[in-house]
Amino acid sequence: MLPPDRCPVQSFDDILDSSPLPPPGPDFYTARRALWLTPRPSISASPGPSASRQRLEQLLSAPNAAEGDYAWNHGVKKVWESLDAGGKLKKRLPLSLIIKIIYAAWLRNDTWPTGAVAPEPDDVLPNDYTSPELLPQIFLPWSSGATTPWMTTNTGDTEVHNGKSAVI
């Protein structure tokens, strides 16, 4: 048996494939969550970035590298074509580097127009935002009588017609 620091690292997909799981449903969710939360052996410090990673980082660190042809033709194109075809990376790359590769490709295929700037997000609340106080729920003594496909039982609401109450 290999010592823990020499064991090959399994992806979560590999762990799922090798684990007996119940059929889909709450038990499946619980089992999958337990696998996700189980600590995995720590990865020993790698000897450092590979030569190909260093080359990609160098190519993409130049100003306007994503817009130019040099970086694209000297390595970025090959990595993008592999990713675009659904291939897996042979070695891990930092997300920041992957984003630069995707950005360069999107500029090439006009998914991202040249010179376009990402808009500011409109779903982020300012730091000084305080939520309004919730209004108390008001329960009315009557119901509209409307039903929905999601109503499965009688709610027992009372409705008043001409001075007489009836359970609906």
pLDDT of residue 73: 95
CA 87 from chain center: how many Å? 19
* Residue 83: inside a domain: yes
Question: At residue 161, what are phi and psi to the nearest 5 degrees?
Answer: -130, 125
| Structural domain ending residue among the three candidates 92, 108, 124 | 108
pLDDT of residue 1: 44
Counted domains in the chain: 2
pLDDT tens for each residue of 105-129: 999 998 988 888 888 887 777 777 7
Q: Are residues 75 and 100 in the same domain?
A: yes
* Residue 69: inside a domain: yes
**Which regions in the chain score pLDDT beneath 50?**
1-6
pLDDT tens for each residue of 68-85: 899 999 999 999 999 999
